[in-house]
Chains A and B, each alone.
Chain A
Amino acid sequence: NAGVTQTPKFQVLKTGQSMTLQCAQDMNHEYMSWYRQDPGMGLRLIHYSVGAGITDQGEVPNGYNVSRSTTEDFPLRLLSAAPSQTSVYFCAAGGGQETQYFGPGTRLLVL
């Protein structure tokens, strides 16, 4: 049981480039979410999904896009990377009325 996995672990982008952060879970949770963690700002919700085909915005959704075609996968797309998107990104499965489980994170640097 791998839990929640994220790839890549680390990525460097140039301003304006796009990329997709991958997230997968094998726990069959309907609810998945993406957070970013910044020093002094704590964890902030970017987007979340309550099931395949259903997504919604969190607290800081601008510049990010998500889709949920399967229960297992919940990729996060950066449309045109900006230095302000330098952060550590965490994917989570579960939450709401259930225990929430986090992936190991993706550290992103935008130059």
Chain B
Amino acid sequence: KQEVTQIPAALSVPEGENLVLNCSFTDSAIYNLQWFRQDPGKGLTSLLLIQSSQREQTSGRLNASLDKSSGRSTLYIAASQPGDSATYLCAVPGVNTGGFKTIFGAGTRLFVKA
């Protein structure tokens, strides 16, 4: 059974710092891995999707990497800003379930201090 773990559970950093959020998964049979952002009381917003054949994906100050063989992904945020404060979740749809049962990590709650 696929399990997704995110470390750390919470993180507080000063503005301007570069930071890395971690996501690990137990079953390497995945179609892709998606990173989301969730603001308090809101829905999830897709940030990046990395296909299983890709090693990384970039969008602005965000860079996500994927190492399928070791079951790990990282989300790198450059020059963090207070507006980056949110919960970040990673998710994997499992190949063994036809991609229809996506498993989510519990998230990393990020606070960027001004």
Q: Is B58 an interface residue (CB 8 A)?
A: no
Q: Is A13 an interface residue (CB 8 A)?
A: no
How close is B34's CB to chain A, nearest CB, in angstroms?
6
Contacting pair B43 A100 (CB below 8 A): no
- Interface size range of chain B in the complex: 20 to 34
Q: Is A74 an interface residue (CB 8 A)?
A: no
A104 and B100 in contact, given A95-B93, A97-B32 (Cβ under 8 angstroms): no
Contacting pair A100 B102 (CB below 8 A): yes
Note all chain B residues with C-beta closer than 8 A to A58: 101
Q: How many A-B residue pairs have CB under 8 A?
A: 58
Contacting pair B31 A96 (CB below 8 A): yes
Q: In chain B between 16 and 31, which residues have their CB closer than 8 angstroms to a CB of chain A?
A: 31
Q: Is B106 an interface residue (CB 8 A)?
A: yes
Contacting pair A42 B100 (CB below 8 A): no
- Stretch of B44-52, B59-67, B68-76, B77-85 at the chain-chain interface: B44-52
A42 and B107 in contact, given A96-B31, A97-B32, A100-B91 (Cβ under 8 angstroms): yes
A43 and B104 in contact, given A96-B31, A96-B93 (Cβ under 8 angstroms): yes
Note all chain B residues with C-beta closer than 8 A to A4: 43
Q: In chain A between 1 and 46, which residues have their CB closer than 8 angstroms to a CB of chain B?
A: 4, 31, 33, 40, 42-43, 45
Q: Bound complex: CA of A95 vs CA of B99, how far in Å?
A: 8
The 10 tightest CB contacts between A and B, nearest first, are: A96-B99, A102-B43, A43-B104, A102-B44, A42-B106, A104-B43, A97-B31, A99-B49, A105-B43, A96-B93
Residue ranges of B at the interface with A (Cβ–Cβ < 8 Å): 31-32, 34, 36, 41-46, 49, 89, 91, 93, 98-102, 104-107
List 7 A-B residue pairs with CB atoms under 8 Å apart, sorted by A's residue number. Answer: A42-B105, A45-B101, A95-B99, A96-B31, A96-B102, A102-B36, A105-B42
